[in-house]
Amino acid sequence: MERAEQLARAAQKGPPIRPFPGAPAATVGVIAEVKRRSPSQGIIREDLDPLTHARAYVRGGAVAVSVLTDEAHFGGSIDDLKSVAAAIPAPVLRKDFVINEVQVHEARAAGASAVLLIARIVSATELDRLAGIVRSLNMVPLIEVHAANELDAALAAGPSVLGVNARDLDTFVVDLRVAESLIGRVPAGIPVVAESGVETRADVERLAAAGADLVLVGTSVARQRDPEQAVRALTGVARHQRNP
């Protein structure tokens, strides 16, 4: 309890928050991820230095940086998030399996501008509650869905940004067709981030055509020796407006 109370107090005094992208832009925004390994890919870049990569991503045109803070599956930590948030001018997303308010407070205290909430892993009631806590701390809840039956709960929780993950978290299979279908069902007024399976500029163009406003790119840029150029190669793709 003492740690939870300390984090709650620290969250109220966290660093200034940088606005997380969401407003429509002419081109699809690229959110680049600090990622050492994953359950589906194994080791991606074990020697990845979060600061070096994050700075390179921003130079390459990333509108935000995602930092994986789960140690067991991704080799990340809250210290990675804290150091990245302090070192770059871009907003930072905490990406983790967030299931309680302590993790939200921890994210705010570390300097996050947004927190990923995965609809699949919490109840609709808890999703709504956690999203409210994120907003109360002036951060953005990025609510992620993978299947159509998760969309109603996600929309009811009032996402500032909605993530559509092409990867099935149960099987790790990536299918961009699933993402395309779901993106088309999101109301036009809610910015959509397409997650997983983005390897090339053609992938960004495909998801843009489906109505994605942003893409979250992890493995394909984290593993590169020149992450700046890897991000730059994905930027500048024209955004397409979704039908209301």
Which residues are known catalytic residues? 33, 35, 95, 144, 165, 195-196
- Cα separation, 91 vs 140, in Å, equals 10
The residues, ordered by sequence, that sit 6+ positions from 6 with a Cβ below 8 Å of its Cβ are none
Type of residue numbered 144: E
Contact 49, 83 (CB under 8 A): no
Phi, psi of 61 (to 5 degrees): 110, 10
- Cα separation, 139 vs 108, in Å, equals 8
Nearest to 62 by CA among 90, 83, 86: 90
| Number of Cβ atoms within 10 Å of the Cβ of 129 | 15
